[in-house]
Structure 1
Amino acid sequence: MAKLFDQVLVVDIESTCWQGYPPAGQISEIIEVGLCPVDVKKLARLEKRSLLIKPIRSKISEFCTKLTTLTDEHFRAAGTLADAVGILKKEYRSPDRLWASWGDYDRRQFERVCKELTVPYPFGVGHLNIKTLFAVAYGDNGEMGLDEACERIGLPLEGTHHRGHDDAWNIAGIFCHLLQKFRLGGTLVA
Structure 2
Amino acid sequence: MDASGDLLNVVDVEATCWEGMPPPGAVSEIIEIGLTVVDLRAGERSARHRILVRPERSAVSAFCTELTGLTQAEVDAGVSFAQACRTLAAEHRAGVRPWASWGDYDRHQFTRQCRAAGVPYPFGGRHVNAKAAFTEALGLPRRPGMAQALRVAGLPLEGRHHRGEDDAWNIAALVLFLARRDAWPPAPSPA
The equivalent residue for 1:125 is 125
2:38–2:172 contact (8 Å) kept in structure 1: yes
What's the counterpart of residue 19 of structure 2?
19
Secondary structure of 1:142's counterpart equals coil
CA distance in 2, matches of 1:71, 1:4: 39
Measure the CA separation in 1 of the matches of 2:159 and 2:12.
14
Counterpart of 1:35 in 2: which secondary structure? strand
Q: Could you list the runs of 5+ residues in structure 2 that have no partner in the other structure?
A: 184-191
Shift, 1:86, TM fit: 1.2
Offset at residue 3 of structure 1 (A): 2.8
Note the C-alpha offset of 1:4: 4.0
CA distance in 2, matches of 1:126, 1:31: 24
Q: Would you say how many aligned residue pairs link Structure 1 and Structure 2?
A: 182
Corresponding residue of 2:116 = 116
What CA distance in whole angstroms lies between the structure 2 residues aligned with 1:43 and 1:21? 42
SS in 2 for 1:46: strand
Q: How does 1:1-190 map to 2 (within 5 A)?
A: 3-182=3-182
List structure 1 runs of 4+ shifted beyond 2 angstroms.
none
Percent identity, aligned pairs only, is 47
Distance 2:76 2:94 in 1: 26
Deviations 1:112-156 (A, max 9, x none): 000100111000111100001000001111100111110111110
* DSSP 3-state at the match of 2:103: coil
SS in 1 for 2:98: strand
- Provide the secondary structure at the position in 2 that maps to 1:182: coil
Q: Distance in 2 between matches of 1:44 and 1:86?
A: 26
RMSD: 1.2
Could you tell me how far apart the structure 2 residues matched to 1:103 and 1:73 are?
Answer: 29
| Normalised TM-score (structure 1) | 0.93
Q: Distance in 2 between matches of 1:30 and 1:120?
A: 15
**Structure 2 length normalisation: TM-score?**
0.92
Q: Is the 8 A contact 2:55 2:76 kept in 1?
A: no
